[in-house]
Amino acid sequence: MKINESLKKFGEFLYDLRIKKEITLREMCRRVNFDPSNWSKIERGKMSPPSDKKMLELWAKTLGLKKDSQEFKEFIYQAEIAQGIIPFEIMEEKELVAALPAFFRTLKNKKPSKEEISKIINMVKNA
């Protein structure tokens, strides 16, 4: 998925959550201390969401998402993808991070070594 598509997808997700909670854009921004103009840009897929995880967690909580819920996790994940970064939970896995260069080479049609392929296969099997 391209970044522009990711921004749009997150923006739509954010908008839908806010509307479902019946919170106006200005009221939401007041609650989370965020600029309404920038919030609107995020909802329209014109601007990335903030990278501050604490701020994203505040947004999710304000939108009524429970911290351990799948919807909360999806919210954070979609925000990270929209930012164009590798999600936090992936970066916490040391072995997985070590295999990322081979993975990205594969995506770019550069053949990884047999050892790199074996590591990726083992990590996927053990996930």
Domain assignments of the chain as residue spans, ordered by start: 3-85, 93-126
pTM summary value? 0.68
What pLDDT does residue 124 have? Answer: 72
Band the pLDDT of 18: cuts 50, 70, 90: very high
Instruction: Compute the distance between CA of residue 40 and CA of residue 38 in angstroms, rounded to an integer.
Output: 5
- Quote the pLDDT of residue 95: 78
- The whole-angstrom distance between residue 57's C-alpha and the CA centroid of its chain comes to 12
Alpha helices in 1-127 (DSSP H): 3-20, 25-32, 36-43, 53-62, 70-83, 88-91, 94-107, 114-126
The pLDDT score that the predictor gives to residue 14 is 96
Of 31 and 53, the structure prediction assigns the larger pLDDT to 31
User: In which band, very low, low, confident or very high, does the pLDDT at 110 lie, cut at 50, 70 and 90?
Assistant: low
pLDDT of residue 61 exceeding 90: yes
User: d(Cα 125, Cα 19) in Å, to the nearest integer?
Assistant: 40
Task: Record the tokens describing residue 103, joined without a space.
Answer: 């993975």
Instruction: Indicate the CATH number of 3-85 among 3.30.1490.20, 3.40.950.10, 3.40.50.150, 1.10.260.40.
Output: 1.10.260.40
Q: Give the mean pLDDT of 72-86.
A: 85
Q: Read off the pLDDT band of 2 (50, 70, 90).
A: low
- Read off the pLDDT of each residue in 45-54 and give the average, rounded to a whole number: 92
Return d(Cα 38, Cα 32) in angstroms, integer.
13
